[in-house]
Structure 1
């Protein structure tokens, strides 16, 4: 948990720039992740994206300082090894979908890092931070889809319902809660709650899409998730 300190209140323009840039990273994260999901299995894409707590650990130490714990080093090393083996080991050859997912992971790590700076260092309130962040994220995702020619307007009640649920549950609900917690906890701790996401996503992909995973990939993926948990605890 963060120690109590005097917040350094930035100028309005500076705070707006940090929030807006954070939103750009969030919008690009979602756009590239959606690209990845159409190219590789759901479990693989989600697992690669959800390695961002490991990236955040490194980014926070480089940008914000702090003591590195032995457990965190062990988590980073084991996570890297399991991920390397998951992607093919010595015969490693990244697909386009893998690259999209890994870049998406870097973008969301950057988003949460800036969120911690805005919330814990600048003292921005949750609403004060998320309004410009979500606005620029939406605009970024819209511009990306227009450039790619993939923009579609939901045209049936079924599609509209799922679009609303996607906006309300993971975005307004999940991300807003995580942004609130960034004012009190380190970002790698806040974001480590995603370690269950690849498991849940793979179950849904099996039930809805019929995607079946090779047992060895499941085991290696669980090794990556265990490494994230090791960094988290």
Structure 2
């Protein structure tokens, strides 16, 4: 992408789309694994025409090396585990708490970026990361619960944060030589397969859900995944995992705003302060790290 400005515009549009995830999941009346399965399954179906209808995509898929297949399938494993654990966490803890914890991805991505890709961070970028994470904690602080059940949900969300970061690191490596659609559809389809096997093992029903729940499944696939997750996969060709993961902190902001618009929830002063901190932290980080790209 020639203009970094366009990269950041698409990045923030993707973050806003991803912000719908927790709301769709909370509204869907289905087990966590089933919700995650249909999110990945419908996402793969949506992308399938772009794979089959494009000669270059078909040719590229057919020419994949065994190593590329391994990375693609591994990304599916991480993605399946991420969504399965995160959606499950929403059954034990609040949306705010789960979203705040699962968006702590920069803690993993900055460490991984430094050790795996020799990525260096300025003091200003680290400060921006700390400010944004602080803002995320401020938003969810009043909903953080001290109980055995809530703590279990928070732990699930934290592990999910590490898993999605691993998924993005694979993408940062693979997307250098593999186009968006083949990479995404391999990850989504394999993720759906792993989730289906797990759900079947748990004897969870795949059908008999309400019309609204099916619409929420489709919303998760089209809005949160295609317009959110897939945009991130696309941007990994030009932006580092640390920048993508850092920007996902903005998901907390988007979730609060959408809860206000859709659910009529009031934005408190505390949440307003948290939003301001996140935006300031993101701006500082991106300005400091704007020169970092995936070569």
1:68 Cα deviation from its structure 2 partner: 2.2
Deviates more, 1:111-120 or 1:193-202: 193-202
Conserved? CA contact 1:54–1:188, under 8 Å = no
Aligned 1:1-233 pairs, distance under 5 A: 12-78=65-131, 95-120=151-176, 123-153=177-207, 155-205=209-259, 216=270, 219=273, 223=277, 226-233=280-287
1:82 Cα deviation from its structure 2 partner: 6.5
1:28 Cα deviation from its structure 2 partner: 1.0
| SS of corresponding position for 2:109 | helix
Please give the alpha-carbon distance, in whole angstroms, between the structure 1 residues aligned to 2:131 and 2:106: 14
> Deviation string for 1:53-89 (max 9, x for gaps)?
342122111111132211222234446666788769x
Number of residue pairs aligned between Structure 1 and Structure 2: 222
Deviates more, 1:126-135 or 1:144-153: 144-153
Please give the alpha-carbon distance, in whole angstroms, between the structure 2 residues aligned to 1:204 and 1:67: 35
TM-score, scaled to structure 1 = 0.77
> Deviation string for 1:23-55 (max 9, x for gaps)?
111111111111111221211111111121342
| SS of corresponding position for 1:68 | coil
Please give the alpha-carbon distance, in whole angstroms, between the structure 2 residues aligned to 1:231 and 1:16: 34
Conserved? CA contact 2:247–2:282, under 8 Å = no
> Deviation string for 1:128-176 (max 9, x for gaps)?
2112111111122223434455554253332222212211221123222
Distance 1:224 1:166, change over 3 A: same
Where do 5+ consecutive residues of structure 2 fail to align?
Answer: 3-62, 288-295
1:20 Cα deviation from its structure 2 partner: 0.9
Conserved? CA contact 1:154–1:160, under 8 Å = no
Conserved? CA contact 2:132–2:249, under 8 Å = no
| SS of corresponding position for 2:175 | helix
Deviates more, 1:33-42 or 1:199-208: 199-208
1:7 corresponds in structure 2 to: none
Deviates more, 1:141-150 or 1:176-185: 141-150
> Deviation string for 1:177-212 (max 9, x for gaps)?
211111111122234443332133234456777878
RMSD between superposed Cα atoms in Å: 3.4
| SS of corresponding position for 2:207 | coil
